[in-house]
Amino acid sequence: SCAASSSPTNTGRHPFCLRHCCARRHPGCGRPRGIEVARYSQLPQFDASILDTYIPRCTRLTQLHFGHIVSNPHAPMAFKEKMGYNMTYNLVPPKHGNALHMHRSIEIFVALDGRWEIAWGMEGENTVVLQPWDFVAVPARVCHSYKNIEEQTAQNIMTILPGKSWITWAPNVVAEARKNGAECDENGVLLKYAHLVSSTKGLASAAETVPWKSMGPDDMAPYLHRFGENRPFECRMTEEVAEGSEAPYVEMFWKTVKPDSSVSLPRKAGVDMLVTVLDGSILVKTRNGRPIAAAGRLDAVRVPRQALQAADVVIRNPCPTLCTLLVTVTQMRSQNELYFHLC
């Protein structure tokens, strides 16, 4: 077996560096600044008490990597430093999912395990199935939802939501949630959480007051990225430009590392990276071979721009089997102070 996620002993370096998140350099350890590991097995799971979770078919648990949960603003992020977008893992029971809704920015869904139905259209009348490790980038203002279509097993889906905090629920979602006990305003903002933000006016809108983008049954194909096709995703979000800054940018691609082999992360000025281990285990090292961190399946490694600027960061597969990674490259620091909320 391969136990890359266990910590080496007698390294002569600060023991904290190999086992935990580290936001600063420890003397003598040679660790690039700011690299952190979020371990799937150690992250707390939260009930996401937002509007649609009052609907029985929409219950789920959430692990928060970046951002805030509007219903639980004190829930700690897995990482100490933001990178400008909201990211979660959602553990969803069989045949459950979220309710139809839309945002003013793209929303990305990654099937971490199991099969997932992505629906779009005002009634969710169009669907596509994500196989494990596929992802889809749903365009802004498109009504959409996801559902775990496995028969017996709870599965994980990863969501990335860049852009300003804002949601509109599909018609009838607010009414259905109210029938199941939700106390909310006409836009679906839960009243018991409204006091947690200075104003809820900018968080949501009623379905009949906003424009929705229509997409037919074949129109999602350009936004669907199959693992087997290995087609990367790139998007510059021109609608989310903060004054005096460059438009936020996101890129996603898969990377496989052969057994007992290494790859260097690309160094591009001003970008942050997140490495999600889809399968296998990795060691994160400096170019001269010093260990920085270890990560296993569904762990996520944050490699901030200051670490990439300072030195080469090497990913090594110490195992006898292939390792598969999903790399998310972003340039979104200008978005850090925007209020993100989960949906």
Alpha helices in the chain (DSSP H): 16-19, 173-179, 191-194, 305-310
pLDDT in tens, 210-263: 878 999 999 999 999 999 999 999 998 876 665 666 788 999 999 999 999 999
Q: What is the CATH number of domain 42-229?
A: 2.60.120.10
Residue of higher predicted confidence among 203 and 160: 160
Confidence of residue 300 (pLDDT cuts 50, 70, 90): very high
**Confidence band (pLDDT; 50, 70, 90) for 25?**
very low
The residue type at 269: A
The answer to whether residue 157 scores a pLDDT higher than 80 is yes
Tokens at residue 157, please? 């889906």
Question: Residues 154-171: what's their mean pLDDT?
Answer: 88
- Domain limits, CATH 2.60.120.10, in the chain: 16-40+247-331, 42-229
CA distance 48 to 57: 13
pLDDT of 11: 32
Residue with tokens 């944050």: 302
Render pLDDT for 182-218 as a digit per residue (tens, 0 to 9).
988 888 888 876 555 555 555 566 666 787 899 999 9
Is 103 a residue whose pLDDT tops 50? yes
pLDDT at 280: 98
Arithmetic mean of pLDDT, 35-56: 90
The pLDDT confidence band at residue 19, using thresholds 50, 70 and 90, is very low
Give the whole-number percent of the chain exceeding pLDDT 70. Answer: 78
Strands 261-264 and 233-236: unpaired
Does residue 56 or residue 268 have the better pLDDT? 56
Beta bridge partners of 292: none
Q: How confident is the model at residue 304 (pLDDT cuts 50, 70, 90)?
A: very high
Q: Among 2.170.150.20, 2.60.120.10, 2.60.120.330, 3.90.420.10, what is the CATH number of 16-40+247-331?
A: 2.60.120.10
Higher pLDDT, 266 or 129: 129
pLDDT of residue 24: 40
CA–CA gap between residue 272 and residue 330 (Å, rounded): 5
pLDDT at 343 over 70: no
